[in-house]
Structure formats: C-alpha cells, structure tokens
C-alpha cells in the first residue's frame, strides 16, 4: 500500500467516526431536550392546576359573599320596616301626651 491509500483510508475512517460521534451526540442531545421539555411541561401543568384550584376557591368565596350580602340586605330591609313602624307608634304617642 502506498502512502496515498493509507492517508485516504485514515481520512475515510476519520469521517465515518466523526459522523458516528456526531449522530450519537445529536441523539443524546435530542433525548436530553425531550426530558427537559417534559419537565417543563409538567411544571407548567402543575402551575395551571394550582391556578385552577385558586380560581375555584375564589369563585366559592365570591358565592358565599353574595349570599351573605343578600342576607344582610334582607335584614336591613326588615330593620327599616321595623323602624318605620316604631316611628309611627312614637308619632301616635306624641299627640296623646300633648293632650294631657
């Protein structure tokens, strides 16, 4: 074998090994990227679920506040009616006191 053939053979081996190493590195990087993407997606999904639960809690609290507000409005109406009746009774008593 002459020197040119040996050099060509070494070059071909180098190119083939470079292709193999590059391909394996790309596969490793792709697997690593997939794992990182899966981790990131899982974290985002967990955060979204946390936010959903928070929104549900807020909605429940808002409904409870609405019910309390309605109950309070009803009580205020009853108190106003009672006060109105009390004022009528007081007004009815005042003329009777003036006659004495």
Residue 92 is predicted with a pLDDT of 85
3-state secondary structure of 76: helix
Q: Which two tokens stand for residue 38?
A: 């899966």
pLDDT per position as a tens digit, 4-60: 999 999 999 999 999 999 999 999 999 999 999 999 999 999 999 999 999 999 999
Pick the residue with more confidence: 91 or 58?
58
CA distances from 77 to 72, 80, 82 (A): 9, 5, 9
Pick the residue with more confidence: 94 or 56?
56
Residue 98 is predicted with a pLDDT of 58
User: Taken in order 48, 49, 50, 56, is the CA torsion positive or negative?
Assistant: positive
User: Taken in order 57, 63, 69, 75, is the CA torsion positive or negative?
Assistant: negative
Residue 97 is predicted with a pLDDT of 61
- Interatomic CA distance for residues 81 and 11, integer angstroms: 103
Residue 56 is predicted with a pLDDT of 97
CA distances from 81 to 60, 72, 77, 89, 90 (A): 32, 14, 6, 13, 14
- Interatomic CA distance for residues 16 and 24, integer angstroms: 12
- Regarding pTM above 0.75, the answer is no
């Amino acid at each position: 074998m002459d020197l040119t053939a040996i050099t060509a053979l070494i070059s071909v081996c180098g190119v083939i090994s470079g292709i193999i190493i590059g391909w394996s590195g790309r596969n490793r990087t792709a697997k690593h990227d997939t794992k990182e993407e899966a981790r990131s997606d899982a974290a985002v999904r967990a955060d979204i679920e946390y936010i959903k639960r928070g929104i549900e809690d807020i909605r429940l609290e808002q409904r409870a506040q609405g019910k309390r507000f309605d109950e309070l409005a009803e009580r205020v109406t009853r108190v106003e009616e009672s006060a109105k009746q009390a004022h009528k009774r007081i007004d009815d008593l005042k003329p009777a006191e003036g006659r004495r």
